[in-house]
């Protein structure tokens, strides 16, 4: 089998591949990659190198994992999952990423394509106006330092208290949109100044707001879909992908720098400086965990303020309240985070970087409404292809620390994509295919062309066949806002 | 211009990597700074009006460059600006490297500026400042 690595990669099943600990000095556990043979063969060399570097980190449990959307990141691969013992393991900002609690949110509506198509241009213009995107964008919410502290501790709950959402939204978010155990004193003034004006903004890169359609023939599990509010019949839904913006980015930068110094004191050596880490129980480890949770809560709040703006935009364009348009939240899920979760080995710090929690119906952590379906998992494809709604499984909890994929995953660098297609050309091509794109940056648009990504359907098939998530519905884009 | 910048196509697919090269450490600082500015916006489309002086020092020029580039990224969000230019001088007093720089730019305005990527951070992934064959070179991966 031709792979972009010289390492031995053994087949466990058609969707699971294992690199034994003999392949790199210092590996403490094997590395496992979830992928079809085709996806594995296309994976870049960085994935194999990075997932085996992760397997060398102190206190790692069972396996270092990479999901089928995995690709070369920094430190951990994107798509990486690793769990560390809370007593003698580590926590690593590189295993979470700079964009702490980057995540996905899906909002349903009662509208159909026939309702929206005549107003699509107006709707996308209104959304583009109300949801700032792109480099350094600031939002409409103005906060004092003290109030921003409440955002850090209360997350999406703060938004609902301020009228930016409905109380019932909260139960449809991972952790109820508010992670406990935060301490704003663990966050630097630098981080606060960087992020205080950015609540309700998308950012750029692969972040987006997308209006999508659900057709009956692309619903794979009608019972689960209906339970989650997805009814098909050309139903309109809205997907949001963004995170903690400059605030989270600065928290990551601050602690990576701090951990680089403290690692010497703890006698930890790593294969890549971006794997800088600290013992989870150390003062530095606990402070990062707290600061990371502050950033995670601001990300929940960011997506909640954006949801408020989306609801306002729809209400303006369609002349009805968001409630009468049925704009309920389907779910909000993080895909860049570290959390303490209980597994047979004990309490573990599960790092997911470009990977989604995927708890099954049997998980006691889930609210009652998801005990039959399993936790919703929202996976974004490229803006040209489509996205998926899936649900977690009990097998994921057993096999992958309750984790699955988060998106399509790149196959081409940004520089290559820009050489292949121009932004304006791509925008016109998409318009011809019925997808209206509003973008702040044309070069940024070109970087996100569908040709730069894996085929999301094949990626989704991998995790479905592996049993770690189950397909519910495919979502087809008709309008996209990019930073 | 005694520096060159080359954007890298084969590394860190979701991010942006570049190599800056120059005849001196100061020139490498200039090249790397320009690469970060251009990653965020086309500098010629940005007017002036916002300015900030920055002075930093370090025994290690590699650490100094990393901190400086991180500062450029920081002010983009903290002040909500993109940059037209960032003139700088790098001197050495004994073992200490001293950076005197100015960030010059304007508030973000997508109607008048050609905007690109919102850089999240300067990473240490593959980060290296070294001298080879009489020239200085740095490799940087930006998380975007």
Domains of chain B listed by start with CATH number = 3-143 (3.55.10.10)
Residue ranges making up the domain that contains A339: 10-411+453-482
A134 CB within 8 Å of a chain B CB: yes
Decide if A432 is inside a domain: no
B38 CB within 8 Å of a chain A CB: no
pLDDT in tens, A33-88: 999 999 999 999 999 999 999 999 999 999 999 999 999 988 999 999 999 999 99
Decide if A247 is inside a domain: yes
Q: Are A106 and A237 in contact (CB under 8 A)?
A: yes
DSSP structure class, residue B71: H
Rg (CA), chain A: 21
Mean pLDDT on A179-196: 95
Decide if A445 is inside a domain: no
Residues in chain A: 483
pLDDT band at A181 (very low <50, low <70, confident <90, very high): confident
Decide if A250 is inside a domain: yes
How many CB atoms within 10 Å of residue B131? 11
A193 CB within 8 Å of a chain B CB: yes
pLDDT above 70 covers a percentage of chain A that reads 100
Alpha helix ranges (H) inside chain B = 25-40, 61-78
Decide if A448 is inside a domain: no
Report residue B55: phi and psi, to 5°. Answer: -125, 135
Mutate to test the interface with A, among B14, B63, B64, B81 (most CBs of A within 10 A): B14
* DSSP result, A149-186: HHHHHHTHHHHHHTTSS-GGGGGGBGGGG--S---GGG
Nearest residue to A95 (alpha-carbon basis) of A310, A311, A259: A259
* Cβ separation A440–B110 shorter than 8 A: yes
DSSP structure class, residue A43: S
Decide if A458 is inside a domain: yes
pLDDT in tens, A335-383: 999 999 999 999 999 999 999 999 999 899 999 999 999 999 999 999 8
Mutate to test the interface with B, among A54, A74, A97, A441 (most CBs of B within 10 A): A74
**Strand ranges of the sheet holding B16-22, from the earlier edge strand across to the other edge:** B3-8, B16-22, B135-143, B121-132
Nearest residue to A331 (alpha-carbon basis) of A381, A293, A362, A366: A366
Rounded Cα distance between A176 and A155, Å, is: 9
Decide if A441 is inside a domain: no
* Cβ separation A135–B13 shorter than 8 A: no
Contact residues, chain B, for A406 at CB < 8 Å: none
pLDDT in tens, A86-102: 999 999 999 999 999 99
Do β-strands B96-107 and B81-85 pair in parallel, antiparallel, or remain unpaired?
antiparallel
* Cβ separation B118–A203 shorter than 8 A: yes
How many CB atoms within 10 Å of residue B99? 21
Q: Report ipTM for this prediction.
A: 0.91
Q: Are A259 and A273 in contact (CB under 8 A)?
A: no
Location of structure tokens 């964009």: A99
Rounded Cα distance between A246 and A185, Å, is: 18
Decide if A434 is inside a domain: no
Which tokens in the block code for residue A37?
């043979």
Query: How many structural domains compose chain A?
Result: 1
* CA angle (A422, A424, A430) in 5-degree steps: 100
* Residue A40, domain CATH: 3.90.1860.10
- The pLDDT profile of chain B, 144 residues, written as one tens digit per residue, is 799 999 998 777 888 999 999 999 999 999 999 999 999 999 999 999 999 999 999 999 999 999 999 999 999 999 999 999 999 999 999 999 999 999 999 999 999 999 999 999 999 989 999 999 889 999 999 999
Mean pLDDT on A266-270: 95
How many secondary structure helices (H) and strands (E) does chain A include? 15, 19
Nearest residue to A35 (alpha-carbon basis) of A462, A326, A395, A480: A462
């Amino acid at each position: 089998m031709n792979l972009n690595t010289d390492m031995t990669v053994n087949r466990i099943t058609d969707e699971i591949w294992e690199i034994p600990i003999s392949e790199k000095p210092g590996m403490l556990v094997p590395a496992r990659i979830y992928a079809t043979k085709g996806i594995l063969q296309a994976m870049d060399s960085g994935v194999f190198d990075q997932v085996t570097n992760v397997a060398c980190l102190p206190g790692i449990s069972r396996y270092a994992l990479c999901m089928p959307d995995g690709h070369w990141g920094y430190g951990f691969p994107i798509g990486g999952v690793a769990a560390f013992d809370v007593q003698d393991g580590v926590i690593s900002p590189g295993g979470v990423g700079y964009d702490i609690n980057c995540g996905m949110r899906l909002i349903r509506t009662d509208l159909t394509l026939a309702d929206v198509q005549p107003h699509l241009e107006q709707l996308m213009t209104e959304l583009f106006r109300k949801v700032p995107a792109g480099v350094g964008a600031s939002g409409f919410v103005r906060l004092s330092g003290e109030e921003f502290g409440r955002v850090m501790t209360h997350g999406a709950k703060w938004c609902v208290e301020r009228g930016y959402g409905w109380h019932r939204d909260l139960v449809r978010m991972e952790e109820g949109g508010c992670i406990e155990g935060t301490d704003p004193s663990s966050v630097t003034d630098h981080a606060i100044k960087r992020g205080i004006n950015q609540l309700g903004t998308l950012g750029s890169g692969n972040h987006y707001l997308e209006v999508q359609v659900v057709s009956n023939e692309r619903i794979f599990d009608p019972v689960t879909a209906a339970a989650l509010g997805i009814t098909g019949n050309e139903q309109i839904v809205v997907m949001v992908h963004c995170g903690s913006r400059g605030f989270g980015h600065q928290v990551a930068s601050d602690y990576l720098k701090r951990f680089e110094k403290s690692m010497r004191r703890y006698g930890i050596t790593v294969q890549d400086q971006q794997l800088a880490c600290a013992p989870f129980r150390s003062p530095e480890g606990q402070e990062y965990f707290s600061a990371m949770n502050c950033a995670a809560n601001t990300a929940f709040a960011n997506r909640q303020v954006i949801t408020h703006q989306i609801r306002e935009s729809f209400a303006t364009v369609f002349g009805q309240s968001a409630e009468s348009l049925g704009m309920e939240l389907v779910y909000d899920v993080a895909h860049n985070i570290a959390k303490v979760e209980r597994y047979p080995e004990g309490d573990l710090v599960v790092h997911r970087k470009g990977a989604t929690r995927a708890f099954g119906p049997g998980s006691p952590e889930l609210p009652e409404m998801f005990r039959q379906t399993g936790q919703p998992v929202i996976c974004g494809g490229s803006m040209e292809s489509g996205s998926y709604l899936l649900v977690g499984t009990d097998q994921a909890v057993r096999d992958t620390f309750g984790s699955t994929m988060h998106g399509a995953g790149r196959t081409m660098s940004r520089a290559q994509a820009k050489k292949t297609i121009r932004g304006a050309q791509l925008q016109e091509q998409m318009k011809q295919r019925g997808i209206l794109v509003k973008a702040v940056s044309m070069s940024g648009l070109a970087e996100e062309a569908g040709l730069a990504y894996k085929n999301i359907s094949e990626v989704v098939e991998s995790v479905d066949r592996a049993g770690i998530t189950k397909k519910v519905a495919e979502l087809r884009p008709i309008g996209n806002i990019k930073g | 211009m005694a520096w060159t910048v080359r954007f890298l196509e084969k590394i860190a697919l979701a991010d942006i990597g570049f190599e800056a090269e120059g005849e001196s450490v100061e020139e490498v600082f200039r090249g790397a700074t320009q690469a970060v500015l251009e990653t965020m916006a086309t500098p010629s489309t940005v007017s002036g009006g916002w300015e900030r002086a920055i002075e930093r020092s370090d025994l290690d020029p590699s650490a100094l460059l990393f901190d400086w580039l991180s500062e450029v990224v920081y002010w983009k969000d903290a002040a909500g600006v993109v940059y037209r230019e960032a003139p700088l001088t790098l001197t050495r007093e004994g073992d200490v490297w001293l950076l005197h720089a100015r960030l010059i730019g304007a508030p973000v305005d997508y109607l008048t500026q050609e905007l690109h990527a919102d850089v999240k951070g300067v990473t240490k992934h593959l980060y290296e400042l070294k001298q080879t064959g009489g020239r200085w070179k740095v490799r940087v991966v930006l998380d975007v």
